[in-house]
Structures are given as structure tokens and as C-alpha cells.
Structure 1
Amino acid sequence: MNWLSGILSSILVRRKSSDNNSNTIVYPLSWIVFPIIGFVFFGILFGVFIFIPDLIDQSDIVFVFIFFSGIIIAFICLSIYMARWKVQVFDSYCKYTTALKKTRKIAYDHIESRDVSSGYRFYIDNKRIFSISYLQDNYRSLDKAIRTYQKNNNIKIVKSVTNVLKPIQGLWFLPIASLVIIFIPTISIYVDEGLSTGFFISLTFHMITIFLFIYMANWKIVFKDGILTKTTIFGIKKAYDMKHITYTVSQRLMHPDDTRLYYKNKKIAFIMGNVNNRSELLESIDYFNRFNETLKNEE
């Protein structure tokens, strides 16, 4: 949720973070205004349709109710999440409060901090626990506290998994949202046109949703001992010798570190810039390319 709200806020609210004496990192108040405005707007619109029934066909009332209820609930959840989310920074630990008001005390001994283009991500045993956007006030404070504590106590974080790349977990939002969005109008089609017509009209959209689910579940890249193995969305595996792999880094979607992999100048994979272990993969490719160049020069 953090990455999504960060993208929306960076587009809608042109603000810069500031550093103050507070040890608390929260969402800016200006961010919370947008889901509240959305809730109020769609709530009023929904009320108009309910109390002035002549504005819509009564046969569509079920669809209208489901559609607006879903949107209003989404805005309410987003508002609650942004209002309650909080990180408190201390010398040797932090307190992370979720939208459900569950507070977790996390010692700095095992936290890994990663500096990414959108801010910082924090991991324990290579599993993300939360993210902080560069648009949030005091966003550097937690990373600074973690690095200071680990340096003073001679703690070095070693990632437990460094050779596996999978889609970022936040992307599960896409197939789930697609499923919800498609489900609502599909019900209306079934009611108006019948099961057969509704099935064929919605078939293409359902296939897109299934494609997204399969991609999230199957797509994977593993690199080890000079061999890169890519698993496609259909579960098909193909191995490549890393000494013949090159890459380019440029913004393709929304991240400046989006990466394309090439095997003998033929594109074999696209990797989003915020995928875990991407930098480790590029370092390995650079190593084998340098090793390959050394062998050629010796010959």
C-alpha cells in the first residue's frame, strides 16, 4: 500500500520532505485529504442516485450499489491506513504501527535498509517489513539510526537470499484489483443479458486477470555459478551462460532503474527497477563480463 500511495501523492501533491526534531515518521496530512475527498465525493454521488431514483434505470440499481459501495470502502480503508501508519525511531529499535493499530517493536540488529529511488525499504531475512517514501518528513532518520547503531555495534547484515528475483509483492494489487473491477460489471451483464452473453463479454478481461495471477506466481530468475535460469509465466525454464549476458538500465515503466537483459544481443527478460536482488544480479553479470574480457585479452 505504501508504494501505491507514494506514487499517487508524488503526482498529486508536489511537496518536499523536511527534517525536524520529531522521532516519528507519518504520512503528511495533505496526503490523507485525497482519500477523504474521494470518499465524500462518491458518497454524495451515491446518495444522489439512491434518493433521486429517476436519474438511473432501476434495473441497474444493483450494479450502482455494488460499484459505489466498493469505491467508498476502498477510500475508507486508504484513509484509515494513512492516518494510523506510523514509525517511531529510537536509538536501538523502532516501533512500527499498522493500520490495525498493531504496534511492533523492531530491534536494529537484524534490519537491512535499502536505498531505492522512491525512498527506503526495510527488510528482515530478505522479507520486506515496510517502506518509507522520500516525500515523508524525516524519511532519512530511520535509515540513519539503523546504520549508526549497526556501525557502533559492529553488526553486518548478510542477506539470506541474494540470487533469486521475483515480482515485487506489491504487484499482487494488480490482479486482485482487476478481479474486483471485472467482477462488478460482470454481475450487471449477467443480470441484464444472461449467463451466456455475460460469460463471453467478460472472457477477455478474465483471461487478463488470470495472466496477471500466473505471472506473479511463476515468473522468476535465479542466478548461480555463472548460470542464469529464467522461469516464464508458464513455468518453462531456460538457462543462459552469464558470460554472454548484457543489460541496459533505463526508465521503461515508472522506475528509473528498470532493466532489460540480453543474451547475445537478444532480449530475454525485463526486470522492474525495484525488484529484490536486481543489483546483485547486475554485479554478477559485470563480474562475468570482466572475467570474459580478461580471458579474451590473454588469448
Structure 2
Amino acid sequence: MPKKAYEKELKALQARLVDMQAWVQSTGARVVVIFEGRDAAGKGSTISRVSQYLNPRVARVVALPTPTEREKTQWYFQRYVANLPAAGEIVLMDRSWYNRAGVEHVMGYCTNMEYHRFLHQAPIFERMLVEDGILLLKYWFSVSDVEQEARFRSRNEDPMRRWKLSPNDILSITKWEDYSRAKDTMVVHTDIPEARWFEVDNDDKRRGRINMIHHLLSQIPYQPVEREPIDIPERPASGGYERPPRELQNYVPDYAAEVIARGAG
């Protein structure tokens, strides 16, 4: 997708996301958006664009770490329940309870019994969320094997993004078909009428972000919210306050001046 067209449409969609956020706040709606997909499929960068202009007190990004030893003894969904939204909140899940259907199953981090129990319980759990009034949206970000490998190599060569590569990421190349089968099985069991899976073709990240955000907005029944006008008062006359001498303050050094000087030179 051409950059100019992408940036123009992205700004327009982000403005609509702000409107949607206002509706969520005013109505007390609860929204959960799940971002799943293969490693390097572009989930994180899409979440960044969705949340860029939203109030972090309203829209929270949830990316849970590896469960603790204590959490491993809890009901599998328990730690996710603690991160569900209250009234007027949006939760963006960077991976979710579907870890069990994907990486945990493929990499052998859970037992077959735990895996099959998950496939049985996940639709029940999600129906309970929807019946309680939560707006639940699930997106699977798809990427081709060629594009995934190219992104891995790009990250490996970029010191600023190398931290994104984990041992599991690299192994996903050798387990491409295993992940494909796991995804297909997951969809068969969990693509329910109350909470459908929506797939995002994300080989072209710009196109994928635009498509996903536009679809998200189409799924939330938001309406424009009349905002109270804000009157900025006139600044009152000085009451005699005098600022302490600048030399008595501990200012950070003006490094920007050095940068400007280097550029001028």
C-alpha cells in the first residue's frame, strides 16, 4: 500500500478510534480485542497504531509474561480474568489465552490433557464473557513463510529490534506446518457464533493495519458522543511571584544544541 495513502487513511481511522473510545466511556461498554498470529506477523505494530491516540486509562494493552509457578497451579483462564475490562474500558490483548492452543501445544509446554481441556473450555468461557455483555473480537494475523523469514532476518540485523527475536521465534520456522495444523484445529473448536475469528492478511503491514482497524470499528456499535465544550480561562494578573534565578536550578544539559551545531557544521 502506498505510504501516502496509508498515512492519510490511518489518521482518519485513528480519529474514529478516539470517537469509539468516547462512546465506550460514556456507555460503560466493555471491549476485549484479541491479537493472535504467527511470530513476526505484525500484531505488536498494529496494536501500537490502534492505541496510539487512545487514553491509556481507558485502553490497556495486556501482554502477560510466562506464568509464575503459582499461576501454573491455577485454573488456566484465571490470570486472564483478572485483566478483563471494567465498565468504560478497552483491553487490547497482545496474545491471550490462545497461547495454549498455539505455542504451548506446539512446543510441548502443556500436556495433551491440558490442551484438549482448553479446546473444550475456551468456547464456554467466551460465551460467558459475551453473555455478560463484553464485546469480544478475535483477530488472527496471517503471514507467509517467506515473509516471516524475511522479517526474522531483518530483526536479526537490526540492533534496535533484535530483542524481538526469541528462541521460540526461531524454532517457529522449523515448525511451520505444526503451527498451521494447530491454528486450523483452534479455529475449528473456537470459531463460535458469539465470538468469531477474523483473519488479517498481513504480508503487507500497511494494508493489514488499515483493514484490521476499519473492521474493528465496523464491529463496535459506537455512536458519536457530544463532548462538553472546554473553556480555557484567562490567565490572572501576576500576584508578585518571582521565579528563582535560573542558575540555581539543575537543568539537564542542552545536548540538542550540540546536535544542531553538528548539523550546521
TM-score by length of 2: 0.22
Q: Which has the higher strand share?
A: 1
The structure, 1 or 2, with the larger RCO (C-alpha pairs under 8 Å, 6+ apart) is: 2
